[in-house]
Amino acid sequence: FPFTTFYCLIVCIINGTVMYLRRLVTRYGRRLIAAAVFVFIILVWLAPRSLVDHVNLEHHGMLVGRVLKTDYHDAEYEARELQQVGLGELGAVAVLPTSISEKEKDDLYKVNGFNARLSDEIALNRSLKDIRHPKCRQRLYLSELPTAALVVPFHNEHWSTLLRTAFSAYNRSPKHLLKEIILVDDASTKDFLGKKLDDYLAEHLPIARVIRLPGRWGLIRARLEGAKHATADCLVFLDSHTECSTNWLPPLLEPIQQDYRTAVCPFIDVIDFENFEYRAQDEGRRGGFDWEFFYKRLPLLPEDEASMPEPFKSPVMAGGLFAISTKFFWELGGYDPGLDIWGGEQYELSFKVWQCHGQLLDAPCSRIGHIYRKFAPFPNPRKDNFVARNYRRVAEVWMDEYKQYLYARQPGWLQISTGDLKDQHAVRERNKCKPFSWFMSEVAFDLVKHYPLVEPPDYCNGTIQNMAEPKLCVDTQMKGQFDRLDSMDVCTGSDQQQFQLTGYKDLRPHKSHNCWDVPDLAAERAPVLLFGCHKGLGNQMWSFDMATNTIRFGQYASHCLDANVATKELFVAKCNSSSSTQRWRWSHINEQRLAMYNKLDPLPS
């Protein structure tokens, strides 16, 4: 009896509950279903995910956290590259075959400033070694990225280097992201850059087309004209003698997808002008400038090094290799069309990006090689000082009170007309751009530490006379960057015999931006080269010991400037207190400052 009663009670409760739920469903059915679906979605959204539990969406990418990302590496193409055999493959040092004459090499060298004949022996699609940071191989990027138009201006570029630029960009980029390649011909006179180039591209690279300018407009306006013809979401500008490396494009596009007011630069590697070796320039520096508008490099911040290879902020871009959203580029007015040929455009655009509420980043996982010519092969296309005029236009529009520090070093710029600046001031007003003092305090906050507003005085300057043979002085003999400084001549006090041991502790020809550089001390007589001053001590650090009259090299001052007075050869050797050829006399010494040498910045780290 108790069991029967209990059973009946349970049945009644169940029936009552079912009937109640039926009435609820009948009255509120749709609302209840919607509420259940909503609760389910919220629970799924809030559910924790570890990296191991990422959902692999085979054709669309991978869900990282709650963002869809993709591995854009082309494994099949990279595998084929590794099988390629030939001169310069994997970016290795190449040498001209002995069957090619020196005259043939020299003729092309003179009109290009690099070993163009060797370039012709290297495949247009040569392979490159992957020298990116190891984490770049595993890096995923947003599955939804903007499309890109590649804009490459050129003037009398060599055939193989121009085509290698285009092919490397196309071959190593996701095809759905690279929408077009626009080559802008700035009044080239070489026959093969006409119809032959058009026909070749139509057959072998139809994504590329050539826009021809009616006259010599210069690099800056050529870029502007190319941008006007572009139809993609983003503009990517490259020089005409570059090579794009593995997966170069997605790292440039992702920051722009996240914030369209962003410009992104790749790491710029070096393609050797003589042997076409592809090598790293360094593993990251921030862009800067000195107060004569020479491009300089600033050290990475600790947080940038810790998060490598994530993109990091940089005050100034190096030049013509960068990506920017088409929308933002034109909001900024593009480049100032009043800037002529080349010079100053990287400062103008960098200042505009930062001061007009954008940001400039360097992307370590995007690496592009660039040929730095041994010399400029083209004559000056203008009779006036167009570079100084460009610099002054940039300074007058964007630098506010800081322009005085440029003019203090280059007072002649004040005599050069800027032309009409009304449109450029309107760009600044329209975008409600910030003052240059904001840029200096918030973006380039450490610039003046490395490049002071007022130059520190020299430790020594004037002629450098050898005390073993007093009639001989160090002489540059018109040597330039990358050349060996290896000579002395009869002391005359000429401009070629004037030098400075500067407040940055480097040694350079007077008013030059090339410094004495000793890259290798292994040899008994180590050569002294002329190389761009970096003001970072290291292999450009020099001192003068007044007690011994020796010019000492490096942080530890163990090696001294020496000479063979018979052959008039200069070199660096281990310091020897008994060697008379290691003793030198400066014509001017700042004894008070020199006595403080070891206490004054910059100091070795």
Answer yes or no: is pLDDT of 4 > 90: no
Contact 362, 440 (CB under 8 A): no
The residues, any chain, with a CB within 8 Å of residue 345's CB and separated by 6 or more, are 219, 220, 223, 335, 336, 339, 390
Rounded to 5 degrees, φ, ψ at 413 are: -65, -30
Domain ranges in the chain with CATH number 3.90.550.10: 144-371
SS3 515: strand
Distance CA 515, CA 509 (A): 7
Single-letter amino acid code for the residue at 75: A
pLDDT score of 70 more than 50:
yes
Distance CA 4, CA 8 (A): 6
DSSP assigned state of 463: E
Q: Kind and range of the H or E element at 208?
A: strand 208-212
Residue 310 token pair:
């994530």
Longest dimension (CA), the chain: 133
More confident residue, 56 or 221: 221
Report the relative pairing of strands 234-237 and 148-154 from DSSP bridges.
parallel
- Ordered DSSP codes for 212-242: E-SS---HHHHHHHHHHH--SSEEEE--SSE
Q: Mind listing the pLDDT tens digit for each residue in 199-210?
A: 999 999 999 999
The residue count for the chain: 605
State the average pLDDT over residues 453-482. Answer: 94
Q: How far apart are CA 125 and CA 550, in angstroms?
A: 52
Compute the distance between CA of residue 130 and CA of residue 138 in angstroms, rounded to an integer: 13
What is the pLDDT confidence band of residue 39, given thresholds at 50, 70 and 90?
low
User: Is 334 in a helix, a strand, or coil?
Assistant: coil
pLDDT value at 395 more than 90: yes
Those residues whose C-beta lies under 8 Å from the C-beta of residue 253, and which sit 6 or more positions away, are: 141, 145, 146, 148, 177, 234, 264, 323
pLDDT at 161 over 90: yes
Q: What is the mean pLDDT of residues 477-495?
A: 92
Radius of gyration of the chain from its Cα atoms, rounded to whole angstroms: 31
In the CATH scheme, what is the code of domain 460-599?
Answer: 2.80.10.50
Q: How many CB atoms lie within 10 A of CB 528?
A: 21
Q: Evaluate whether the domain defined by 144-371 bears CATH number 3.30.230.70.
A: no
Higher pLDDT among residues 534 and 323, named by residue? 323
387: helix, strand or coil = helix
Query: Which pLDDT belongs to residue 385?
Result: 87
CA–CA dist 434, 437 (Å, integer): 8
DSSP of 414-451, one letter per residue? Answer: GGS-----HHHHHHHHHTTPPPHHHIIIIISTTHHHHS
CA angle, residues 145, 149, 151, in degrees to nearest 5: 145
Q: Distance (Å, rounded) from C-alpha 252 to C-alpha 275?
A: 29
Q: What average pLDDT does this structure show over 364-373?
A: 96
Question: What does the pLDDT look like over 271-324, one tens digit per residue?
Answer: 999 999 999 998 899 999 999 998 999 999 999 999 999 999 999 999 889 999
pLDDT band at 56 (very low <50, low <70, confident <90, very high): very low
* Pick from 239, 236, 209, 40: nearest CA to 148: 236
Q: Are 345 and 390 in contact (CB under 8 A)?
A: yes
Which secondary structure element, helix H or strand E, spans residue 13, and what is its range? helix 2-46
How confident is the prediction for the chain on average, in pLDDT?
91
Residue 450 above 60 pLDDT? yes
Mean pLDDT in residue range 359-370? 98
3-state secondary structure of 386: helix
Query: What tens digit of pLDDT does each residue of 223-266 get?
Result: 999 999 999 999 999 999 999 999 999 999 999 999 999 999 99
| C-alpha dihedral, 95 to 97 to 100 to 104, nearest 10° | -20
Closest CA to 204 of 233, 250, 167: 167
Question: At residue 601, does pLDDT exceed 70?
Answer: yes
Distance of alpha carbon 284 from alpha carbon 314, whole angstroms: 10
What does pTM read for this prediction? 0.80
According to the model, what pLDDT value does residue 474 have?
A: 97
- Cβ-proximal residues to 279 (8 Å cutoff; 6+ apart), any chain: 91, 131, 269, 270, 272
Query: Quick check: 1 pLDDT over 50?
Result: no
- For 138, left (φ over 0), alpha (ψ -120 to 50), or beta? alpha
Residue 515 token pair? 């410094």
pLDDT at 14: 72
Q: Is the pLDDT of residue 511 over 90?
A: no
pLDDT reported for residue 287: 95
* Interval 97-128: pLDDT, tens: 999 999 999 999 999 999 999 999 999 999 99
| Residue from 277, 445, 281 nearest 362 by CA | 281
Q: pLDDT-based confidence at 37, cuts 50/70/90?
A: low
Task: Locate 605 and state its tokens.
Answer: 């780290």
**Confidence check: pLDDT of 3 > 60:** no
Written as six digits, the tokens of 418 are: 């800027």
- List CB contacts of 204: < 8 A, sequence separation 6 or more: none
Q: Looking at residue 55, what is its pLDDT?
A: 39
pLDDT at 570: 96
Q: What is the DSSP secondary structure assignment for residue 49, as one 8-state letter?
A: -
CA atoms lying within 13 Å on the CB side of residue 312: 21
Question: What residue has token string 């960068």?
Answer: 322
